[in-house]
Each structure stands twice: as structure tokens, then as C-alpha cells.
Structure 1
Amino acid sequence: MKLALWIAILVSLILSGCDSKTSLQRYFVDRSENKDFVVFDVSPGIINVDKTKLSAEQKEALASFDKMNILAFKTNKTNGAEYDAESKKLTELLKDEQYQQLMKVGSGKDGASVSFVGSEDNINEFVLFAKRKESGFVVVRILGDDMNPNNILNMISVLKSADIDSTQLEPLKALMQ
């Protein structure tokens, strides 16, 4: 009897300790089977570049990048209400205290924001959320280790000169058709 009581207490403590809030990662996973969404990952292998021609800062930026998770929702004549509801859910998720907003542009129905998780010198995740009622929205999670704003700027310069492996972007191309 004592053992059963201790197990019940342990299970209740574990369950009460679980966070019932939806995370952005959970949001991506939950939408992966929905026909109105396209969810996919992009690995660093998408960036084909001659590393011998990169500066030390560009090499550091490339090394800090682990992967990108991309979620896109395309609006059509029948899913306007779903767009509104999902856009609102994402806006609320990004208001969580773990996400620090770097910038926001646009109005309530159209716009974009850039947020991050971590400290300014040790960023674990950048999040870009862009939406437009007429076309839909996209959320891009850039995951890495010890990233900083300079890494992102250097990564952009690497991308400009890189040969991008577009096969990883096929799900996004299919959505745009």
C-alpha cells in the first residue's frame, strides 16, 4: 500500500511539473499533418560554399548554424478563418517571455517580427514570423549554438555567395504553386 501511495505522489508531481503551454516546436509538430500547412527542416547542407574563401567571422557564423525549421500557411478562398486563428496563436506564442523581440514591422494584419531565445551573446534560436492576410504566413526558426546578431549578418553574406541546394526547399515550392 505504501509503495502505491509513493508512486501516485511521484506521478502527480511529475504531471504537475509538466508545462501545459504550447511551445513553438510543439506548434510545428502539431501542424505537420494539416493540409493547409507545410512544415520542413533545412540542414546546413543546403549551403554549398568554398569554406577556404570564407573569413573567420563567416566560418564562425556557419559553424553556429544547426538547422532551420520552416512552417508556412497559404491562404485560399476557404481558410480565411483558420488563417486568423492560427496567426493569432502564433502571435500569442511569440509573446512568451522566452522570446525577446528584436524588431517588428507592419500593422496588425500584415507584418513581420524577428525574435530570439537566449542572451544577446549566446542566442539559441532566431524566429522570423511574417504574415500577409492575402497570401498567408511563414515562421522560420533558425537554431544554433552560441549565435549572435553578427553571426546572422555574416550568415547572410555567406548565403549571397553560396550555391544553394534547392532540393531541400521543394516543400516550399509546392506550397507556392
Structure 2
Amino acid sequence: MQRTIKHIVFVLLLAVAFVSCNDGKSLQTYFVDNQEATNFVSQDIPISMVKIDDSKFTEDQKEAYKSVKRLNFLGYKVEGTEAEVFKAELAKVKTILSDKKYNDLMEFSDKGNKIIVKYIGTDEEADEVVIFGSANELGFGIVRVLGNDMNPDKMVTLVNAMQNADVDENQIQDIMNFFK
């Protein structure tokens, strides 16, 4: 009897392992695979370390800002690389972000620079917000915004407010220097 139970447990564990294996690449595995690769820079930033003047934020923007706990950044710099390598890396990210689990939130372009904001979750609560920006002459950057009770609509207003927010550039100097 005990041997039969062991076999059943083994078969169940094996079945779970096969079901949980996913051949598709996730953004998280892309980050892990490239965080120390050539021409990439990676940085994890707890939101508590980023000091932003939120005195001009609306209540929705303040609520969205407080729901964010951590930012994961991965950047790829074009300089010194072959154009084909950049295009291949860009295609990998676009393929990952084209997965149906990523919901479109907003997209805009300006002078050849493109920004795409997507999220994983429902219309009421996002588990993760992804900001992807690319420029052919600089490279691309991906920011994974992680937190609790993030509302996609409020995150849109926060993204808009952050464009005009007073952010101390010393806090993100490593990222800024990477793209110079």
C-alpha cells in the first residue's frame, strides 16, 4: 500500500512538473538571462529609494504611486553593437510583449522614440506594469513595475504625471550614464 502511494505521489509530481514547464519565454526570464550580458544593464530599484515630489499629484496619482513597490530595469545599448544583434534582441522583447497575457495600456511615439505600456492582470488590478521604450540610435529599456493593488487606469495618470515630476537624477544616474 505504501509503495502504491509513493508511485501516485511521484506520478502527480511528474505531471505537475510537465504542466508547469512553459516553452514560451517570459519577461522575467529575459531579464534573468540578460542581466549580466554584454551591452545590457540591469538595476532593481525599491520605490522607497526613489524620492519624488508628489505634492502636485492628484489623489489617483498618489494612490497609484503608493501601490508601486519595486522597479526592475533592463536596458540594451546600441553603441558598439551590430545592427542585427540589436534587431534580434528587440524582436525577442516584442515577441514576449505580444503574448496575450499582456494587456495594452498606452502607446506613443515621438521623434523616432517609441514607448509602450502594458500590464498583466485585470482592468481593476494589475499584477505587473511593463514600460518598454526604444530608440534606434540609443537602444531600448524595459521597466517592470511591481506592487500591490495597482490599478491600470490610475497607473496611466501616474505615467503622465511622472513625465513632468521633479525626479532627482542622481538616483538613476547609472541608467542615465549607460545610454550616454
Q: TM-score, normalization: structure 1?
A: 0.79
Cα deviations by residue, 1:10-45 (Å, 9 ceiling, x for unpaired): 342122122322211111111111021111122222
Counterpart for residue 123 of structure 2: 120
Measured at CA, do residues 50 and 94 of structure 1 come closer, stay the same or move farther in structure 2, by a change above 3 Å? closer
The one of 146, 154, 157 equivalent to 1:153 is 157
Secondary structure of the 1:38 match is: strand
The one of 134, 138, 146 equivalent to 2:137 is 134
Separation (CA, whole Å) in 2 of partners of 1:150 and 1:3: 51
In structure 2, give the amino acid aligned to 1:75. V
Q: Could you tell which deviates more after superposition, 8-17 or 67-76?
A: 8-17
Secondary structure of the 2:137 match is: coil
The one of 63, 82, 87 equivalent to 2:85 is 82
Cα deviations by residue, 1:71-93 (Å, 9 ceiling, x for unpaired): 11011243322211111111110
For structure 1, list consecutive stretches of 5 or more residues without a partner in the other structure: none
Percent of residue pairs bearing the same amino acid type = 27
Is residue 61–residue 155 contact of structure 1 (8 Å, CA) maintained in 2?
no
Measured at CA, do residues 84 and 54 of structure 1 come closer, stay the same or move farther in structure 2, by a change above 3 Å? closer
Counterpart for residue 12 of structure 2: 10
**1:1-177 equivalent positions in 2, closer than 5 A:** 2=4, 5-6=7-8, 8-20=10-22, 21-45=24-48, 46-49=50-53, 56-105=59-108, 111-148=114-151, 149-154=153-158, 156-157=160-161, 160-162=164-166, 164=168, 166-167=170-171, 169-177=172-180
Is residue 52–residue 165 contact of structure 2 (8 Å, CA) maintained in 1?
no
Secondary structure of the 1:142 match is: strand
RMSD (Å) for aligned C-alpha atoms: 2.8
For structure 2, list consecutive stretches of 5 or more residues without a partner in the other structure: none
Is residue 48–residue 165 contact of structure 1 (8 Å, CA) maintained in 2?
no
Separation (CA, whole Å) in 2 of partners of 1:105 and 1:48: 24
Cα deviations by residue, 1:98-152 (Å, 9 ceiling, x for unpaired): 101123345xx96332211112221222212122222211111222222222244
Separation (CA, whole Å) in 2 of partners of 1:79 and 1:70: 23
Separation (CA, whole Å) in 2 of partners of 1:171 and 1:153: 26
